[in-house]
Every structure is written in structure tokens, then in C-alpha cells.
Amino acid sequence: MPEEKENAIVKLTIEFALKIIVFCEELEKIKKWKLADQLFRSGTSIGANVHEAQNAESKADFIHKFKIAAKEAEETWYWLILCERSKNLPNPFGLQPDLDLIKRIIGKIIVSSKNK
């Protein structure tokens, strides 16, 4: 496996995706497969798009990948709120603060990239 560059957002999104995988396994244990699938897809897609942006073909492509990551983060936020507020679902303790940090960093990257 190639050595990863020390890149905070790449590292954060990988760690977040690993936590999402574990949480989705909890959802699957209680047979909430559709919710687990939606959360898995959006929660891991954030990091996939951030990772893909690291090899963008242009500045516009870089910004576009981060905008997709931002959209996936918003969708993930939605699914986590549903889990938090539902009496029948496990609480996603700790995932929302992690996601909030990721959302703020992605937003700053988009803004600063547009201003360059």
C-alpha cells in the first residue's frame, strides 16, 4: 500500500469512514439494512471524493470533487440525525462531532480554492 501524505482531511475522512462502517454493522444487526446501506454509501463517499480530489485534473475538478464530498456529508448528517432522534435506532455517539469538523474543513477548502 502506498504511503499516504500527511493530509488532515484525507486522514479525518478515512477515520470517519471506518467509524461509519462499524455503525452500519450495528444497524444491520437490528435488520435496518436500507438505512445501513444509505448511511454506508454517503458516509464512505465523503472520503472517496476527498481522496479522488488529491489527483484532480484541474483546479475546477478539485473543487468539484470537494463539492460532491460536501453534498455527501450533508446526506450523511441527515441519516445520523434520523438515527439520533429515533427511539428504535442506535445512537450514533461521536459521529456527528467528527462529521461537523469534516464539513467545516471541506467548506474552507472549497472557499480557499475558489479564491486562489
What does pTM read for this prediction?
Answer: 0.92
Query: What is the structure's pLDDT at 51?
Result: 97
Q: What is the pLDDT of residue 116?
A: 76
Kindly state the DSSP code that residue 92 receives in the 8-state scheme. -
CATH classification at residue 63 = 1.20.1440.60
Number of domains in the chain: 1
Q: Would residue 95 count as lying in a domain?
A: yes
Please, are residues 47 and 114 in contact by the beta-carbon 8 Å criterion? no
* Residue 1 located in a structural domain: no
Tens of each residue's pLDDT in the chain, 116 residues: 455 558 999 999 999 999 999 999 999 999 999 999 999 999 999 999 999 999 999 999 999 999 999 999 999 999 999 999 999 999 999 999 999 999 999 999 999 999 97
Structural domain of residue 82, as residue ranges? 8-115
Identify the residue whose cell numbers are 460532491.
Answer: 68
Residue in 104, 72, 94, 79 with CA at minimum distance from that of residue 15:
94
